[in-house]
Amino acid sequence: MEGALLIGGLIGIAVGGLMVAILIRAAAKWVAKLDIPFGKAFGLGLGITFLNGFLSFIIGAVLSDPSIPRWIPFAISYLINIGVGGWILTAGLALRFGKAALVYLVSTLIGFGITAGVFAMFWRDLATILH
């Protein structure tokens, strides 16, 4: 059972890294006028996905008190994730931290927009299935 969880986690990190790489390449092209090679973007995406996943798990565990509103751990985690993404992009690319954090922020907003668009397209079908 533990082996399956480990393999599933590694596959999740790889898929997450792939999605982050695509979004980082788009955001870097748009914000910083950088053309990042896909291999480098994938490596950065893997690092960001792994570290942010780990930190989000820790934050969720520490702030799991039912008296804390659910948006507080999410907001803290998101701000830390932007900082971590900016830090990793600063280390991997020739960008200042502010510009790198902006690239990562834009990549997450693009991802949220795509997710919201897909969710909106299937909302009627999802509502029909759930009722």
Question: Could you tell me how many residues make up the chain?
Answer: 131
3-state secondary structure of 94: coil
- 39-77 burial: b if 16+ Cβ within 10 Å, else e: eebbebbbbbbbbbeebbeebeeeeeeeeeeeeebeebb
The pLDDT confidence band at residue 131, using thresholds 50, 70 and 90, is low
Give, as one character, the DSSP assignment of residue 70: T
The per-residue pLDDT for range 28-59, each reduced to its tens digit, is: 999 999 999 999 999 999 999 889 888 888 88
The per-residue pLDDT for range 93-120, each reduced to its tens digit, is: 888 999 999 999 999 999 999 988 888 8
Tokens of 42: 């994938």
* pLDDT (0 to 100) of residue 94: 85
Report the distance separating Cα 90 and Cα 95, nearest Å. 5
**Cα angle 50-55-58, degrees, rounded to a multiple of 5:** 130
Total domains in the fold of the chain: 1
The per-residue pLDDT for range 53-99, each reduced to its tens digit, is: 888 888 888 888 888 888 888 888 889 999 999 999 999 888 899 99
Q: Are 86 and 104 in contact (CB under 8 A)?
A: yes
Give, as one character, the DSSP assignment of residue 127: H
Domain that includes residue 61, residue range: 2-130
Query: How many beta carbons lie within 10 A of that of residue 100, not counting itself?
Result: 24
Q: Are 31 and 103 in contact (CB under 8 A)?
A: yes
